[in-house]
Structure 1
């Protein structure tokens, strides 16, 4: 366990979630919350004090599930490559990449609870994931061959920043794959659709128990 992961965050995640198979990727088990509201309330004090994001790391979001499913079904896109799982949340997509044979995976999320969640979920699935909490969008693309991004289009500002970052990465011959459940801010141009899925999800976090989602590749 990296020294900078606070043990209390790991303990908190173990107390408020439990290991469950990912609905559309039963090959992967994550520490997940059964209900949204209790966990949101438990983290509210930290969120207010530290300006943290809501606990996205506690759920298997449909865009991430779709992208993880695509990676497992098409391992050649990551096999032997250096992968960045950006806005990683639980680390679901990064775990899928390691299971598919990636040489290495760097997970990135600015929420410090996500670092603990990624560490726990990596251990749970017997893989090794590196982690950085830096805001990568303010810098140039890292040393990577592939960028994977699940469910990043829930806000316009974030979507625009991510797409700008992805275009810079594509200019350095980094392949970019995005999983999205048809969010309002998902761009309508500049990406090629690779697959469609009907993703099993939690009705507490989505508007249905089955959510259509697609996987796209950034055009170069």
Structure 2
């Protein structure tokens, strides 16, 4: 690991520990995607010692990049199982978090992959995770800063708030195709998107979420 990546990891570790008592980071393989390792919060972080306010803080921010959420893991599995979806394409991972979907796309042969997230710590985590998996990514903090059109945009774990649904129209306007993974919206009906499959995945480390959230739906988006 390069000195710059090591310093980045130390910075993230300090940030994590300041928000979650006794939490540490370690490189972990994913149950559904063992080909990929990510720098994640330790499996035995002391959930039982956290107040309800701290647990809510974990769920909302600031360290969502330290978990691999179920939809991201399911989307990565789908990409690695069907590399033709990304091979040779310019791909963007919207709301990349840990960078798991972006890394899967790079591993599957995408010609260029951009990891995009408004959270600067997510960008830093994606840089570390790209290095862990020997892939190269491009990084962007603002999807709306330009009008580039991508051959494929990946979207996972962004519909935790239904208010984010309108983002899907904006994303579809910037891509020839969109791969979306979500477990939260059960009555999903968005023009231009169709259901293409299901996968079961849980958050790593386990947050003991509702069982329904482990059932991930996959959608394909395409402009008429």
Q: TM-score range by the shorter chain?
A: 0.7 to 0.9
Q: CA RMSD in A?
A: 3.1
Alignment partner of 2:68 out of 43, 60, 66: 60
**Can you give the 5+ residue segments of structure 2 that lack an aligned partner in the other structure?**
18-22
Q: What's the counterpart of residue 17 of structure 1?
A: 25
Does the 8 A contact of 1:153 with 1:186 survive in 2?
no
Q: What's the counterpart of residue 215 of structure 1?
A: 218
1:149 aligns with 2:155: yes
Q: What's the counterpart of residue 107 of structure 2?
A: 99
| Structure with the largest fraction of strand | 1
1:204 aligns with 2:212: no
Q: CA deviation at 1:156?
A: 2.2
Q: What SS does the aligned partner of 2:38 have?
A: strand
Query: Which deviates more, 141-150 or 85-94?
Result: 141-150
Does the 8 A contact of 2:94 with 2:117 survive in 1?
yes
Alignment partner of 2:171 out of 166, 171, 176: 166
Does the 8 A contact of 2:160 with 2:184 survive in 1?
no
> Using a 3 Å threshold, how does the CA distance of structure 1 residues 80 and 219 change in structure 2: closer, same or farther?
closer
> Using a 3 Å threshold, how does the CA distance of structure 1 residues 200 and 156 change in structure 2: closer, same or farther?
closer
Does the 8 A contact of 2:180 with 2:220 survive in 1?
yes
**Can you give the 5+ residue segments of structure 1 that lack an aligned partner in the other structure?**
none
Query: What CA distance in whole angstroms lies between the structure 1 residues aligned with 2:187 and 2:121?
Result: 26
Q: CA deviation at 1:187?
A: 3.7
Q: What SS does the aligned partner of 1:194 have?
A: strand
Query: What CA distance in whole angstroms lies between the structure 2 residues aligned with 1:73 and 1:201?
Result: 20
TM-score after normalising by structure 1: 0.80
Q: C-alpha offsets along residues 38-94 of structure 1, whole Å, 9 cap, x if unaligned?
A: 7x95xx7xx9xxxx9431111111111111111001100100111000100000000
TM-score after normalising by structure 2: 0.78
Query: Which deviates more, 202-211 or 116-125?
Result: 202-211
